[in-house]
Amino acid sequence: MADQTQPWAERTVEVPPQPGVGVVPPQRDGFQRGVAQVGPRRTPRTEQFAAVDPTGWAQDSAPRRPMSWHLAQLRRGGEWSAAGGLFAFVCWGIWAISGRGNLAAPLFTFVLSLLTAVGLFALARLLGRIVWERQFGRVRRTARGAHLVTALFLAGVGVAYLQQTEWVVSAWNWVTGN
């Protein structure tokens, strides 16, 4: 028995060995007690798809991202484009209603303006990719710059619609005193 003068945490009780108890049977899958299994070394995903490009346009060294990540990146900053589009729509509506005619031609001009804004957004994204990512080596996490450029364009389109509305121009001249 252990000495009773030792603290209880340091006492040990010795149990005589019993047959069949405490022996771990051998495993068939190669498992050994106390030995960690290490699998074969895997190559990182970027090394798997790296290839030599003879044209000199090397692929991005960043890993491929899912489409949902790209769509989420395009949505960031979308409030700017939405505000510019809303302003252009309201100004277009004032201009179209003031014309008191057929709405087919004004609708066509508004749709053409929106398609131009989409093209401008795509051009801003392309320039951002060339300049920001390729030249500076930076990662774009949002599309705020392209959305801001698109919003400024749409605000300019809205102002142009208002400048073509006679009563808005006369009201502006009356307010400013011209």
- Amino acid 92: pLDDT: 93
Place of tokens 């804004």: 117
Note whether 140 and 70 are within 8 A (CB).
Answer: no
Note whether 128 and 142 are within 8 A (CB).
Answer: no
The more confidently predicted of residues 30 and 60 is: 30
- pLDDT for residue 98 is more than 70: yes
- Amino acid 40: pLDDT: 74
Note whether 174 and 104 are within 8 A (CB).
Answer: no
Say which amino acid occupies 117: A
Q: How many CB atoms lie within 10 A of CB 98?
A: 16
The pLDDT confidence band at residue 20, using thresholds 50, 70 and 90, is low
